[in-house]
Amino acid sequence: MRSALLLGAAALGGCAWDGPMSTVRARSDFARDILYVYGIITWASVAIALVVFAALGVVLLRFREKPGAPLPAQTHGHTLLEIAWTVAPALVLLVIAIPTIQVIFRTQVAPAAQALDVTVRGRQWWWEFRYPSLGVVTANELHLPAGRPVALTLEGPDVIHSFWVPQLGGKRDVIPGRENRLTLVPDRPGEYWGQCAEFCGASHANMGLRVFVDTPEAFARWLAAQRATPAEPAGLAAEGKALYARSACVGCHTIRGVSAGVLGPDLTTFGSRTTLGAGLLPNTIENVTAWIHDPGAIKPGVKMPPLGLTEPQARAIATYLTGLR
């Protein structure tokens, strides 16, 4: 009995509608349009199931074999019935196709003039976000203002990825040599989880992202912080900055005024991010230290090589990076 109760509780626990990767909690116009089409398909499927099971029940009850009954008359072909089961599915497909086509065209329109442009680049295995009109570059955490149209331009510098934030809308592929676009209006402030939805290599499952939909005032504060010059560090953080500046880090990462690498994420305001490794771990000094010391032990296939630093050196750099806000 206990096992049955535990199994039932586990099964019901998987039915929550408000999980961070829920597709039925629409938080943008794009997500609501998709959910609208899914609703039509769901109710059409329910109606078809009811009709099929009702017809099956009638057949089973009316034409069941009875002891001693003669063989019933055999029917070969029924024109009306054959027309019905051809026309009925066609009508169902038409009911589904019309709103689907309408939503496809609606989600492919040109972005509004006041839309916020963001360039999304999927890389193995992290996300780069550029705001061309705002002069801001960040990684793995995308900030958007609530109520304002957003135009995401999707680019793939290495292999095929797929940008997917379930509560903000359906996935859109990120393909090398091809530019895709996704337009939406996020309407509720909050934190929304995303994931690469196209297998892209060893750490595909670890290629997550976070989208923070901010109030206009909170977005303005975030933007100002991203543009500000980081304060000069002191103590262990100053030692970390010196170690960073003379290590291989500068060849891959950008920190304004310190380095200009382009292979890895921009670290100028790294300390303001909530996670490390594309959503893999909380952004703490301990986790950043472990990452710097041996990134491959945390994220399989990661492009960042071990730097040969000692534990104290890794901690000093971690202290410096987490202080960049």
Give me the half-sphere count of Cα atoms (radius 13 Å) on the Cβ side of residue 156. Answer: 20
Nearest to 136 by CA among 126, 145, 124, 128: 128
pLDDT score, position 75: 78
248, 263 contact by CB (below 8 A): no
CATH class of 21-54+95-227: mainly beta
Nearest to 163 by CA among 193, 185, 143: 193
Number of Cβ within a 10 Å radius of residue 218: 15
Q: What is the pTM of this model?
A: 0.86
pLDDT score, position 229: 86
Residues forming CATH 2.60.40.420 domain(s) in the chain: 21-54+95-227, 236-322
Q: What is the distance between the alpha carbons of residues 136 and 189, in angstroms, rounded to a whole number? A: 21
Sign of CA dihedral 46, 50, 52, 57: positive
- In this structure, what token pair is assigned to residue 297? 């032990």
19 phi, psi to nearest 5 deg: -70, 165
177, 139 contact by CB (below 8 A): no
- In this structure, what token pair is assigned to residue 322? 């987490």
Which amino acid makes up residue 307?
A: L
Sole residue written with tokens 């303001």:
272
Sole residue written with tokens 């059409």:
44
pLDDT score, position 110: 85
pLDDT score, position 77: 82
- In this structure, what token pair is assigned to residue 160? 């095929």
Which amino acid makes up residue 101?
A: I
pLDDT score, position 108: 81
Angle at 129 between CA 27 and CA 249, to 5 degrees: 140
CATH class of 236-322: mainly beta
| pLDDT, one tens digit for every residue, the chain (325 residues) | 666 666 766 565 556 677 888 888 999 999 999 999 999 999 999 999 999 999 999 989 988 888 888 887 887 888 898 998 899 999 999 989 999 999 888 888 888 889 999 999 999 999 999 999 999 999 999 999 999 999 999 999 999 999 999 999 989 999 999 999 999 999 999 999 999 999 999 999 999 999 999 999 999 999 999 999 888 999 999 999 999 999 999 999 999 999 999 999 999 999 999 999 999 999 999 999 999 999 999 999 999 998 889 999 999 999 999 999 8
pLDDT score, position 8: 65
Q: What is the distance between the alpha carbons of residues 138 and 128, in angstroms, rounded to a whole number? A: 6
